[in-house]
Amino acid sequence: MSTQTTDRQALDQLCVNTIRTLSMDAVQKANSGHPGTPMALAPVAYVLYTRIMRHHPGNPGWPDRDRFVLSAGHASMLLYSMLYLCGYGLTLDDLKSFRQLGSPTAGHPEYGHAAGIETTTGPLGQGISTAGGMALAERMLAARFNRGHTVVDHHTYVIASDGDMQEGIQSEAASLAGHLGLGRLIAFYDDNHISIEGDTALAFSEDVGARYEAYGWHVRNLGEDIELDRLEQAVAEAKEVEDRPSLIVVRTHIAQGAPNKQDTAGAHGAPLGEEEIRLTKEAYGWPPDEHFLVPDEVLSHFGECRERGEGWEREWRERMDGLAADDPDAHAEYTRISQRRLPDGWERDVPRFHVDTGMVATRKSSGEVIQWAAGAVPELVGGSADLAGSTLTLIDGAESVQRGAYGGRNLHFGIREHGMGAFVNGLTLHYLRAYGATFLIFSDYMKAAIRLAALMRIPSIFVFTHDSIGLGEDGPTHQPVEQLAALRATPNCNLVRPAGANEVALAWQFAIASTETPTCFALSRQGVPTWNPAGVPRDAIRRGAYVLRESYKEGDPDLILMGSGSEVHIANAAADRLEADGIATRLVSVPCMDTFAEQDAAYRDSVLPPGCRARLAIEAASPLSWYRWVGDAGDVIGMETFGASGPQKALYEHFGFTPDNVVARARKVVSG
Amino acid sequence: MSTQTTDRQALDQLCVNTIRTLSMDAVQKANSGHPGTPMALAPVAYVLYTRIMRHHPGNPGWPDRDRFVLSAGHASMLLYSMLYLCGYGLTLDDLKSFRQLGSPTAGHPEYGHAAGIETTTGPLGQGISTAGGMALAERMLAARFNRGHTVVDHHTYVIASDGDMQEGIQSEAASLAGHLGLGRLIAFYDDNHISIEGDTALAFSEDVGARYEAYGWHVRNLGEDIELDRLEQAVAEAKEVEDRPSLIVVRTHIAQGAPNKQDTAGAHGAPLGEEEIRLTKEAYGWPPDEHFLVPDEVLSHFGECRERGEGWEREWRERMDGLAADDPDAHAEYTRISQRRLPDGWERDVPRFHVDTGMVATRKSSGEVIQWAAGAVPELVGGSADLAGSTLTLIDGAESVQRGAYGGRNLHFGIREHGMGAFVNGLTLHYLRAYGATFLIFSDYMKAAIRLAALMRIPSIFVFTHDSIGLGEDGPTHQPVEQLAALRATPNCNLVRPAGANEVALAWQFAIASTETPTCFALSRQGVPTWNPAGVPRDAIRRGAYVLRESYKEGDPDLILMGSGSEVHIANAAADRLEADGIATRLVSVPCMDTFAEQDAAYRDSVLPPGCRARLAIEAASPLSWYRWVGDAGDVIGMETFGASGPQKALYEHFGFTPDNVVARARKVVSG
């Protein structure tokens, strides 16, 4: 072995141990966190960031960078150590304030808190699944824009833990990634045999590698042979397999090098303790009493990442210049999309539906509006969890995305709602505007992914149809009741339940215009009338609620009826009768309670004048969300129980969603 | 071939075609439903019910019956046809009112609507996963009660569809079933190549059999070879494999025999149409214009199920008699458990915690109460999704349940929350009282299983700890905000968030006493004071809310503070200061908003007197649930945003969960 090789090996080891000791020290200082996994995975991260990944710490937003997703988000100090050492902007002080309020180094990596965090991880299974969406986006953009110049050409790398591998969302996403042949997706599975309750064998004895092979992945099991060159070679082999995603299984040792805590559950979720840290540092040949020590040669070595990154970006810019010269439209379009700018004037010509359109299910008008949106916004792509014909979410004239053919815009997620949610988030993180569709009831299956979109402040779009007992015969297993309340209670998540085609059109406009908030649609299976577009203000969704029908007399009405979606027209029919009886009735449509709650008091009071306490809300869902708006003197017609199996009309009769019942309850409210 | 064989084959075919035509006719009459899958699976169901399963239509509640779970719940007419033909009580008129309001033959099979429906299915993946819990319960009860006499000795059969096989919950449950070696679980996978969007190959190309082998299952692929004897033989072989669950893959043809619709997506979720039904019946050699025709010889043949069932139950009663003679305690205990009766006097000696117990996290007091509950109720079993040390849910001195060793009471579900939910439901359906534990945030991962427990009206118990931003440093990915509102909005689901150890004890008593409603616990990570047990009424949870501290003056107070869980003591500290300032303050603890909402107005008004409009609620969660109770003049201190990563105390300060803020906001409320 030459001196040079020995020197390099020594430097490598010093770098790896720097990652380890930074992680140990930060967790200890926070007195909270997960030290063992960063210690175990330091060699993998080191190889990825210094030998494999084409990234540019000087420009973390470089569009063609390789993506790295730490699906094992609890090992966040591994990522923070890498981002600090590579020069992404995190400072040593940031590491020292790990897990402190206001620090970018949160307990789990949070998208947007520090450059280089590609997605929020921590809820297990989400990271590797979201990465699937990123890897798909890369192929879809490549199919569109690699026109003679390879301007989209990168990989998505993942480190996943035992926990990730046990979660159902991961199974769904891995099956889909295998189906789609996402060869640019390369995941490490950290098989460390330790989970919180002890040895993983307590609950987990499947053959993960064989399972991934069944999904159609390329699988390589390195066992304990995770020496740096070996890791590098395994990734090189994985990159050769272009038509299948790759899983590289590594058998690591949690808290590697800690004399008393290696391979113990005690090193998983708690600091090692000062004494064990001393002993571990001694075992590494590290000054035992130094904390947050970063040797100069380590910093200098990592500094090369920046230089290499500059070179890669320069080469990419040359390819972009080539594209600009040969196909200026493609160049402009990819530039626009990668800067997350919508096309100029995209929002013009949002469809308006004439009142003569008559009774149309909002899922159906949504299906029409999607055609407009797809025309106006080329980066809009989407699909459903095997419910295209029911959710009406196919883009006309666009191809289906399939293995090896990524130029289309229609996605087929299979019956994998949670995986779909993560894929939609991954596509959205990776420049596309994506939607995923299913029945509203199955928002329960994918709630954790919706929540992550809200937490990450990304504008994922979720189209939920069959949004109430109005779906009829499929019965209570398929009839949402509490889902609207659950989504409304979720911070930074806009739930839109349009009352008719014109609100639907504005809702799509609103969802696409959104930059920091996901939008969930709740759309009816059954027909609803088309309201006169003149009565639906352009800011109906942004304002959240508006007066759809004014009462016959001036000043405060005697009664306010309010509701959303497919119940608004029932309230309207009741209003006809109530007004005929001399009860001045205002009808308020509330397509988005979330945005309405954000309006100033003046606007809210203009819609719901404080002088009118007689208020009745109607919505075929849990009444929970409405109490705030109807107030002490008001009432809510909602669902206090589960639904039932039967034809829609029979159910609406049975559960009281009829003009008769609205009139009767309204009279009670008015008479106080 | 002998005449006898030919005759039998003809009769078999007649029976199979009866199942098919009943399904076709019922779906057509309902003008809604899924005809194709019942037609395809009729041979499988026929073999199971007439040749394989030991069941007794005359006593559907016979404890030792084989269980059948139609995981492909959309094929409900298959099950209803079998239940009618076998004599479970469903009538031909019930089949004719398929999917009509009030009929037991709902769109998807609903537990409790008809005898012989073992669990509610329809939301894909739930059935096969719940079946895993049933199969585990069988082994656990066998380990306890097969003392010289085999009184627990049956199988759980499942029919699962492509949709089931794509859902993540199924992956989790199948991995767990494989890990636990549940040899009594035998599932058919109906590989019919058709899903709603078209060929399953559009989104699903994995090798399901290989995946199940990776989970440790015995897998047999019959391909198209599903002649009745072959099916019977495959099950016989599966039963021989006692240490592994079995998957039998059958390649079926949706709408088999329909000349124009076989193997088409059009036969999946819509009636065949009168003309196609005629043609299909002709192809079957069936009178084309007869509807709901059941040949006498078919009914007579199915009638034998009842006789055989009587015989099996008689033999079982003999074994039970043997147990009664040799081990009367075991006999009495198994009888009691299988009748779902709790032990006499179990609720005596519910723990009471002295006020000197001091600050204790409610997860910790729950851990102590579980020991009492486990002693009082031997059928109580449970575990966590790899968080035993955090949720504190292990039963002291009990063994862990593991492959081949089912005598313990501690379960290790792995990091599989959704699968855990389904297993808990399956255990609960199968006589045990089971709980599953994880962090409250992960209720999102398992919501669909919680909902099924509520819909089925079974008393599953879900223990959720780390129930707010109070979990601290793990940050917003792990901090629930909207989950309390979501669970409260769910019908027939009791969410209990106890304010201290004495409410915790009563909550466990309440959960175990529940017969028709699941209970979800929301427990704190951080310490809370122990309230004087004399101030916590015995019916605190059943009533849902109570006056924990009366104001200093008689009559209506000037202010009501209310809250739940770890925020109640913050309100109490504020009350000290407010009362010192002369604001007569009542403190109301609301451990269960769901039951409080069910109380009559008199009780509700006694706790929240209408004369006092100055009300302030405090809960470290979405305020959505509280508006109803604080009213127009009130206010809520809640979480309008996601949380953050930091120490608990810093977070409570930051988000306003402090006595200072309560005092300030209360003053505003009082001054109006």
Domain boundary among B534, B555, B581: B534
Which phi and psi (to 5°) does residue A59 adopt? -145, 80
User: Does A404 map to a domain?
Assistant: yes
d(C-alpha A392, C-alpha A384), whole Å: 9
Tens of pLDDT, residues A25-61: 999 999 999 999 999 999 999 999 999 999 999 999 9
Are B510 and B650 in the same domain? Answer: no
Q: Give the closest-approach CA distance of A369 to chain B in angstroms.
A: 21
Which two tokens mark B661? 């803020």
- A647: which chain B residues are within 8 Å (Cβ-Cβ)? 32, 99-101
Q: Give the closest-approach CA distance of A12 to chain B in angstroms.
A: 31
Check if B417 is active-site. Answer: yes
Burial of A116: CB neighbours in 10 Å, binned 0-12, 13-18, 19+: buried
Are B523 and B492 in the same domain? Answer: yes
Are A107 and A230 in the same domain? Answer: yes
Of B179, B195, B632, the CB nearest to A206: B179
User: Does B445 map to a domain?
Assistant: yes
Which residues have a Cβ under 8 Å from the Cβ of B304 and sit 6 or more positions away? B50
Q: What is the largest CA-CA distance in chain B?
A: 99
User: Residue B531 in 3-state DSSP?
Assistant: coil
Which residue does chain A place closest to B483, by CA atoms? A486
* H or E, element range at B161: strand B156-161
Are B527 and B577 in the same domain? Answer: no
d(C-alpha A42, C-alpha A280), whole Å: 15
Which residue does chain B place closest to A623, by CA atoms? B489
Arithmetic mean of pLDDT, A97-107 = 97
CB contact under 8 A, B489 and A99: no
Angle at CA B3, nearest 5°, toward B1 and B5? Answer: 65
Arithmetic mean of pLDDT, A328-345 = 98
User: Does B315 map to a domain?
Assistant: no
- B200: which chain A residues are within 8 Å (Cβ-Cβ)? 414
Of B209, B475, B627, the CB nearest to A108: B475
- B672: which chain A residues are within 8 Å (Cβ-Cβ)? none
Using DSSP bridges, classify how beta strands A585-589 and A559-563 pair: parallel, antiparallel or unpaired. Answer: parallel
Of B209, B477, B485, the CB nearest to A122: B477
User: Does B265 map to a domain?
Assistant: yes
Half-sphere exposure of B320 (CA within 13 A, CB side): 18
- B417: which chain A residues are within 8 Å (Cβ-Cβ)? 167
pLDDT at residue B2 in the model:
63
Which phi and psi (to 5°) does residue A419 adopt? -60, -40
Are B511 and B581 in the same domain? Answer: no
Domain boundary among A244, A277, A309: A309
Tally the domains of chain B. Answer: 3
Which residues make beta-bridge pairs with B462?
Answer: B436, B520
CB contact under 8 A, B627 and A627: yes
CB contact under 8 A, B122 and A176: no
Cβ atoms A258, A246 nearer than 8 A: no
Q: Where are the beta strands (DSSP E) in B413-544?
A: 433-439, 461-465, 494-496, 519-522, 527-528
Of A215, A390, A627, the CB nearest to B628: A627
CB contact under 8 A, A388 and B475: no
Domain boundary among A482, A516, A534: A534
d(C-alpha A272, C-alpha B38), whole Å: 58
What's the CATH code of the domain at A263? 3.40.50.970
Query: Band of the pLDDT at A2, cuts 50, 70, 90?
Result: low
Which residue does chain B place closest to A386, by CA atoms? B197
Give the amino acid at B108: H
Are A526 and A590 in the same domain? Answer: no
DSSP code for B535:
G
Judged against a pLDDT cut of 90, whether residue A198 lies above it is answered with no
- B102: which chain A residues are within 8 Å (Cβ-Cβ)? 644, 646
| Alpha helices (runs of H) in B476-539, residue ranges in sequence order | 483-489, 501-513
Cβ atoms B277, B35 nearer than 8 A: no
Per DSSP, the residues of A336-394 read: HHHTTPPPTTTTTT-----GGG-SEEHHHHHHHHHHHHHHH-TTEEEEESS-HHHHT-P
User: Residue A193 in 3-state DSSP?
Assistant: coil
Per DSSP, the residues of A241-295 read: --SS-EEEEE---TTTT-TTTTT-GGGTSS---HHHHHHHHHHHT--TT-SS---
Are A437 and A527 in the same domain? Answer: yes
Cβ atoms B271, B35 nearer than 8 A: yes
d(C-alpha B176, C-alpha B171), whole Å: 9
Measured from the Cβ of residue A289, the count of other Cβ atoms closer than 10 Å reads 10
Half-sphere exposure of A66 (CA within 13 A, CB side): 21
- A642: which chain B residues are within 8 Å (Cβ-Cβ)? 454-455, 491-492
Are A626 and A489 in the same domain? Answer: no
Cβ atoms A223, A214 nearer than 8 A: no
Q: How many CB pairs under 8 A join A and B?
A: 352
Cβ atoms A583, A670 nearer than 8 A: yes
d(C-alpha A194, C-alpha A200), whole Å: 5
Tens of pLDDT, residues A230-282: 999 999 999 999 999 999 999 999 999 999 999 998 888 899 999 999 999 99
pLDDT at residue A233 in the model:
98
Q: Give the closest-approach CA distance of B265 to chain A in angstroms.
A: 11
Angle at CA B578, nearest 5°, toward B577 and B580? Answer: 65
Task: Check A172, A368, A417, A567 and give the catalytic one.
Answer: A417
Cβ atoms A205, A243 nearer than 8 A: no
Task: Check B172, B276, B417, B567 and give the catalytic one.
Answer: B417
pLDDT at residue B265 in the model:
86
| Domain containing residue B414 | 355-534
d(C-alpha A323, C-alpha A152), whole Å: 11
Of B172, B390, B441, the CB nearest to A168: B172
User: Does B196 map to a domain?
Assistant: yes
Question: Measured between alpha carbons, how far is residue B144 from residues B185, B400, B583 in Å?
Answer: 19, 14, 59
Q: Give the closest-approach CA distance of A626 to chain B in angstroms.
A: 9
Cβ atoms B212, B219 nearer than 8 A: yes
Which residue shows structure tokens 């009178």? B287
Which residue does chain B place closest to A174, by CA atoms? B206
Judged against a pLDDT cut of 90, whether residue A212 lies above it is answered with yes
* H or E, element range at A222: strand A218-223
Using DSSP bridges, classify how beta strands B246-250 and B380-384 pair: parallel, antiparallel or unpaired. Answer: unpaired
Low-confidence ranges of chain B (pLDDT < 50): 1
Which residues have a Cβ under 8 Å from the Cβ of B97 and sit 6 or more positions away? B103, B105
Q: Give the closest-approach CA distance of B400 to chain A in angstroms.
A: 9
Which two tokens mark A479? 């009839």
CB contact under 8 A, A491 and B415: no
Q: What is the largest CA-CA distance in chain A?
A: 99
Hey, of B197, B466, B622, B630, which one would you mutate to test binding to chain A, going by the most A CBs within 10 A of its CB?
B197
What's the CATH code of the domain at A643? 3.40.50.920
Which residues make beta-bridge pairs with A521?
Answer: A463, A496
User: Does A170 map to a domain?
Assistant: yes
Tens of pLDDT, residues A564-577: 999 999 999 999 99
- B213: which chain A residues are within 8 Å (Cβ-Cβ)? 210, 214
Are A372 and A511 in the same domain? Answer: yes
Per DSSP, the residues of B82-148 read: HHHHHTSS--HHHHHTTT-TT-SS-SS--TTTSTT--S---STTHHHHHHHHHHHHHHHHHHHH-SS
Question: Measured between alpha carbons, how far is residue A663 from residues A54, A555, A585, A622, B408 in Å?
Answer: 66, 22, 11, 20, 59
Q: Give the closest-approach CA distance of B440 to chain A in angstroms.
A: 12
Cβ atoms A589, A503 nearer than 8 A: yes
Burial of A230: CB neighbours in 10 Å, binned 0-12, 13-18, 19+: middle
Are A273 and A297 in the same domain? Answer: yes
User: Does B327 map to a domain?
Assistant: no
Q: Give the closest-approach CA distance of A311 to chain B in angstroms.
A: 36
* H or E, element range at A186: strand A185-190
Are A494 and A516 in the same domain? Answer: yes
CB contact under 8 A, B108 and A474: yes
CB contact under 8 A, B646 and A207: no
CB contact under 8 A, B491 and A178: no
CB contact under 8 A, B166 and A415: yes
Cβ atoms B529, B566 nearer than 8 A: no
Per DSSP, the residues of A557-615 read: -SEEEEE-GGGHHHHHHHHHHHHHTT--EEEEE-S-HHHHHHS-HHHHHHHS-TT---E
User: Does A345 map to a domain?
Assistant: no
- B206: which chain A residues are within 8 Å (Cβ-Cβ)? 175, 178-179, 214-216
Measured from the Cβ of residue A348, the count of other Cβ atoms closer than 10 Å reads 7
User: Is the Cα dihedral A263, A266, A271, A277 positive or negative?
Assistant: negative
Are A607 and A526 in the same domain? Answer: no
pLDDT at residue A1 in the model:
47
d(C-alpha B328, C-alpha B337), whole Å: 14
